[in-house]
């Protein structure tokens, strides 16, 4: 989805963001978005680990039984 934006689209988004938020608020908005993305990635990683850890334990137990 984001791959279709291109350079002119990014320039337009930045100009609109500058008009809406102003140059003084733009760094705060960017920082907040970055922190939100970081927390989202961390949450999805934890969720993935919660699902894969029991599966890995079962595989380990099964391999110990076959030895």
Q: Is residue 17 part of a domain?
A: no
Residue 43 exposure: Cα atoms within 13 Å on the Cβ side? 6
Q: Is residue 49 part of a domain?
A: yes
Q: Is residue 61 part of a domain?
A: yes
Residues 6 or more apart from 7 whose CB is under 8 A from it?
none
* Cα gap 32→57, rounded to integer Å: 37
Q: Is residue 40 part of a domain?
A: yes
- Assess contact for 29 and 17: CB atoms under 8 A: yes
Residue 67 has pLDDT above 80, yes or no: no
Tell me how many domains the chain contains: 1
Q: Which domain holds residue 41?
A: 23-67
Q: pLDDT tens digits for 9-45? A: 888 988 998 899 888 888 898 899 999 999 999 999 9
**Scanning the structure block, which residue is given the tokens 């002119």?**
8
Predicted structure pTM score = 0.57
Q: Is residue 11 part of a domain?
A: no
């Amino acid at each position: 989805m984001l791959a279709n934006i291109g350079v002119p689209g990014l320039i337009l988004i930045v100009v609109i963001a500058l008009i809406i938020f102003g140059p003084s608020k733009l760094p705060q908005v960017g920082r907040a978005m970055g922190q939100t993305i970081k927390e989202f990635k961390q949450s999805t990683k934890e969720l993935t680990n919660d699902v894969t850890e029991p599966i890995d334990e079962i595989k380990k137990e099964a391999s110990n039984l076959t030895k």
